[in-house]
Amino acid sequence: MDHKEWEGKDKHVTISIADAFKTFKQTSAELEKEAKQCTAKLNDDLKVMTDRVKKLDENREKSLRGIDNHVKDLVTRIKESGDKLKSEVEEIYIIKRKATDAELEEVTTKISYINTDINFLHHIEKANEATAMISGNDVITALDERIKAVPKTKPDVNVEINFVKYNQEVASLQTDIGMVTQSRAVDCLEIGEAESMTLPTIDVKIMKTDECEIHANDIKATLTQPTGETIISEVEEDDSGDHTVIGTSAGTWKVDVKVDGEPIRKSAPMTVKVEKGLLNTIKINKDVFDVFKYGDECLLVSSMENAIHKYQQSGKYIGKVTLSEGVCVYSMFLMKNGNIAFSDCGNNCITLCTMNGEVVKSFGKGELTCPSSIHVDEASRVMYVVDHGNVAMFNIESGKLIKKIAPWNNMGFIDIIDVTLTRQGYILVLYCVQSCLKLFDNEGKFIKVLVSEGDEDGMVKHPQGVAVDDNDNIIISSHHKLQLFSNSGKFIKRIDSKEEGITFPYGLCIVSHHPRRLAVANYGHRNVKIFNY
């Protein structure tokens, strides 16, 4: 018999056995390829399940050890409570182990069946063609059904068993020492909100929403740019027990955080825009002592002369406020009514003028000897003026001297260099030679030193300028660098980098709160630099 006949509804087809066998071998080869891929997947699943069994056993042992160690620290009368908890662990373990073993056995059985079908196909191929055709179709059909029945997702049996200790100081618990939970660490975490951040330091907070034991090396954070560039970021634990993803470079990154290979479910992968720190450098080509924001995108710049220069933040020069001969503008403050208050070193007074240079009023003559930095509290209508080692307080309406605070300490030199207020109304006084930042109450009584002298980050050396942002953070320009501190004086980060050319920075001003951005009068290089921070 050298051919086989099939009768259809409308036609009669004759196919040679050789052609049919060739088709059979092709089908067999394709199925064998699919079967091997399927086996590879199942072997992967087998490894996953084996690892899960191992993790389940480790969790069991870890929980039991935790219970034992905790119970040893308690009195004998609560031993019964500890035994009860261990029973709960064992009961949970038995249930979970049965479920895991069942999945493990199911996967192993599927692998065995597929391997058996593959071996039978190989055996059939060695027989004569007619026998192969008769016996092979059923095997091919069965193998195809097995392949289609393999699930596309990996096994996912919850193998978590955790022991959570109760606070021993809570008297109402009596003999209750803790509880056993089945929640996983991944379910106890969420990513903090962060739409934009700034180099050189960027971070994404991973916070605990529930009690769980987690270590930094259990957390894997993947950062991906739209270009496809991907990096595995470091994760560090902070003092509060939360964790931080440390970023590396500017750009828009998708942050995907996983714990033991599972994504944090309470927070979908988030997108974070990371901007470089130095945004722009505006060349002034003359000495620069102070800078102040006006309008949405413009800056006022002083250069110890009888003019206040105007620049766009982009760097374009747009004009100046021309003042009388003999005026020497050092520090400025833009009032809410649009007038400019400035310290006049040429006439040793404080002057208020319009944007056209028309003088509104002056005060302090005969009471000020060398006015420099100023700060205005418009709510209380008080101006603070650094003057020859003191801080003088003036009523800005009447121009009368209220009092002087932080007096010169008889060290033989002028030391106070800048003054500003916190959002709570406390007075910050910056000392250049002593190299420190001191905190005074609103009456001028010394409270404490917030930042002390030193060359290291978190300390200041010959500082020149201080500013406070909307979050009550403190920025200080000192000794070729800019630093950010909390309102308690705790160091947060350095804003600039050594390569960005900060040299003898003087006045500071906040130009934006969202995003956080500041401008600094960079005296040493005769320019103004604008930084994201």
Q: In this predicted model, what pLDDT tens digit does every residue of 349-372 receive, in sequence order?
A: 999 999 999 999 999 999 999 999
What is the spatial distance between Cα 386 and Cα 408, in angstroms, rounded to a whole number?
11
Three-state secondary-structure class, residue 390: strand
How many C-alpha atoms does 478 have within 13 Å on its Cβ side? 32
What is the spatial distance between Cα 492 and Cα 476, in angstroms, rounded to a whole number?
12
Residue 476 φ/ψ, nearest 5 degrees = -125, 130
> Could you tell me the pLDDT band of residue 175, with boundaries at 50, 70 and 90?
low
pTM of this structure: 0.58
> Could you tell me the pLDDT band of residue 491, with boundaries at 50, 70 and 90?
very high
> Could you tell me the pLDDT band of residue 246, with boundaries at 50, 70 and 90?
low
pLDDT at 339 over 80: yes
Quote the pLDDT of residue 88: 84
pLDDT tens readout for residues 100-125: 887 887 788 778 778 777 777 776 66
In this structure, of 261-270, 479-488, 494-503, the range with the lowest mean pLDDT score is 261-270
Instruction: Locate 93 and state its tokens.
Output: 């373990």
- 387 contacts 378 by C-beta, under 8 angstroms: no
Q: What is the mean pLDDT of residues 294-307?
A: 95
How far from 108 is each of 118, 152, 273, 447, CA to CA, in Å?
16, 16, 47, 72
Quote the pLDDT of residue 422: 96
pLDDT mean across residues, the chain: 83
Reference 383, options 426, 412, 342, 344; nearest CA is: 342
* Identity at 81, one-letter amino acid code: S
- CA–chain centroid gap for 310, Å, is 36
Reference 255, options 221, 285, 288, 282; nearest CA is: 221
pLDDT tens readout for residues 72-108: 776 666 777 778 888 888 888 888 888 788 788 778 8
- The burial of 339, by beta-carbon neighbours within 10 Å (0-12 exposed, 13-18 middle, 19 or more buried), is given as middle
